[in-house]
Structure 1
Amino acid sequence: MDTKVRIAAVGDIHVRKTDGGKWQEYFRQVSAQADILLICGDLTDTGDEEEAIVLAEELKACSIPVIAVLGNHDHEKGKHKLVRNIMKEAKVHMLDGESTVVKGVGFAGVKGFGGGFDKYMLSMFGETAMKAFVQEAIDEALHLDRALVTLDKNYPDVPKVAIMHYAPIKDTILGEPEVIFPFLGSSRLAEPLNRRQVSAAFHGHAHAGILEGTTEAGVKVFNVALPILHKHGFEQGFFVFEV
């Protein structure tokens, strides 16, 4: 790529039904400072379609492409498919094991899931419920890998960026209570990032974590949950990364 693409990223905006008018200036500022906006899950506060409608209305102030994944809050009421469809109608690129190319950059996205990190990852052993929990994490990692493979096959020369809600590494959730680490992400999500030579990965979910870390293979990972950005002095409420 001859020119840099400015990617703004944020997660956990938790839009509520009463937020009409709250986010318009925010999206205008993002549009002025970046070329693409990533929203890394928890678009809504309780997964209610009315919250999604409010966000869709607020996004009319955003003049750059928006790419997003859902988070656990967006699943809370079992209306995640409706939330996703409302966002798609608002021209948001919603990714769930899929990929897209925008402004010469390839994006692959999943929600992700928990399961723990490194040698403390939960294993496929024991009760059926435990096996189902682990299988969900495995499936999400496989979906991410599939999306990245699609980019490699169809657009081999574009840089790749991953977007998810759950964390792929432990480094960016440090500061959270250790007892909840298994519910904040999984190292299984890091495997596709390393294997497919991703330029950077963005996630949210861990509100008390760390802004930046790297995988074992050196892939940059950013926790862009809104509370993290505010804690690190990003008063505008978004993080900009150039590819």
Structure 2
Amino acid sequence: MLIAQISDIHLVPNGELAYEAADTANALGKVVDHINGLSPAPDVVIVTGDIADGGRLDSYQVARELLAPLAMPVFMVPGNHDHKGRMAKVFFDHAYLRTHPDSPNGGFICYAIEDYAVRLIALDTVTPGDHGGGLCPRRLAWLDATLKEKPDVPTLIFMHHPPFPSAVGHMDLEPFKHREDLSKLIQHHPQVERITCGHIHRPISIRFGGSVATVCPGVGMQITMDLRPEAPSGFVLSPAGILVHCLNQSWGDPPVLLTHLNLVEDFPGQFGPFYPFFNVENPK
């Protein structure tokens, strides 16, 4: 099974630039073409939040148009820049975006996809107006009960906010709430192969709760890797990146989920042509 992950698109209405610099619609178009050109094709695409910058309705309409050419199903969770109601209104055919406050997940956009070799569990880490994200006891209880339903199925959890500090100072000002509780919960569910997130606009990996947690780079822009605590908040227009999570079984080992980082060219040939290896030697 192949799972393509994209994140942090920060779309704005047609003709506008995000933060007066980033052509995020153009970047998403290139990413969609890139994913459709992968061979073998991914089974699904997951989007880990910040689809629209500022949650404007017309930004989601741009997102719907640009994501429509994807040849595989798309599943998404909101980010802190998203407006859940407007997101659900535009993506009206994504039934999982419609919530009810009396549901077991507390009215958050939390759901499980059971149709593939890897079980996909979406967690909504967004409380409106809160930048740092987190989970509440009700969402944690929902996650625990959902994981208990299928303890033997390899599982990927996807959400917007990483439950760990990134060392990018301005992104760590507001800690992820109940991260210790989430870590302890994951330790009781060894089928969780990966927890994958967005928000930081940089590829990051870390051990978390006995599993592996990753962060997907951004589509719209990349946050500068300045690890000084006093580093200013800002971004660069590096090429977009995606993560591809692959359920792999080789060398007679049990199936395992591994993750590849894939950069997306800004223009054809940016990274040069394909060069074959030849006359390869392994000195003795």
Q: Report the TM-score, using the length of structure 1 for normalisation.
A: 0.71
**2:77 and 2:122 in contact (8 A); partners too:** yes
**Cα deviations across residues 84-136 of structure 1 (Å, max 9, x unaligned)?**
232242x586481221124222111122159xxxxxxxxxxxxxxxxxx8xx8
**1:204 and 1:225 in contact (8 A); partners too:** yes
The amino acid across from 2:114 in the alignment is: V
Distance 1:25 1:92 in 2: 27
**2:158 and 2:197 in contact (8 A); partners too:** yes
Give matches, 1:117-196, under 5 Å: 137-139=134-136, 142-147=138-143, 149-153=145-149, 155-170=150-165, 173-177=166-170, 180-182=173-175, 186-196=179-189
Secondary structure at 2:161 match in 1: coil
Structure showing greater relative contact order (alpha-carbon pairs closer than 8 Å, 6 or more residues apart): 1
Distance 1:203 1:92 in 2: 22
Distance 2:6 2:27 in 1: 16
Residue 199 of structure 2: aligned partner:
205
Please, which moves more after superposition, 174-183 or 155-164?
174-183
Match of 1:103 among 103, 109, 116: 116
Q: Cα distance 1:149–1:31, how it changes in 2: closer, same or farther (>3 A)?
A: farther
User: What are structure 1's unaligned runs of at least 5 residues?
Assistant: 115-132
The amino acid across from 1:222 in the alignment is: T
- Whether 1:9 aligns to 2:5 is yes
The amino acid across from 2:86 in the alignment is: L
**1:28 and 1:63 in contact (8 A); partners too:** no
Q: Cα distance 1:229–1:223, how it changes in 2: closer, same or farther (>3 A)?
A: farther
Residue 118 of structure 1: aligned partner:
none
Per-residue deviation at 1:241? 1.5
Per-residue deviation at 1:6? 1.2
Distance 2:147 2:241 in 1: 29
**2:110 and 2:122 in contact (8 A); partners too:** yes
User: Which aligned segments of 4 or more residues in structure 1 are displaced greater than 6 angstroms?
Assistant: none
Q: Give the length in aligned residue pairs.
A: 206
Aligned residues: CA RMSD: 3.2
Per-residue deviation at 1:82? 2.3
**1:113 and 1:183 in contact (8 A); partners too:** no
Q: Cα distance 1:211–1:137, how it changes in 2: closer, same or farther (>3 A)?
A: closer
Higher-helix-fraction structure: 1
Per-residue deviation at 1:63? 0.7
**Cα deviations across residues 121-179 of structure 1 (Å, max 9, x unaligned)?**
xxxxxxxxxxxx8xx8442x6425524533542x4542111111111223xx1223486
Match of 2:216 among 204, 210, 224: 224
Bigger Cα Rg:
2
Residue 122 of structure 1: aligned partner:
none
The amino acid across from 2:48 in the alignment is: C
**1:21 and 1:58 in contact (8 A); partners too:** no
**2:125 and 2:135 in contact (8 A); partners too:** no
Per-residue deviation at 1:66? 1.2
Per-residue deviation at 1:39? 0.9
**1:9 and 1:37 in contact (8 A); partners too:** yes
Distance 1:37 1:74 in 2: 18
Per-residue deviation at 1:49? 1.2
Residue 85 of structure 1: aligned partner:
89
Distance 1:17 1:156 in 2: 43
The amino acid across from 1:206 in the alignment is: I
Q: Cα distance 1:230–1:8, how it changes in 2: closer, same or farther (>3 A)?
A: farther
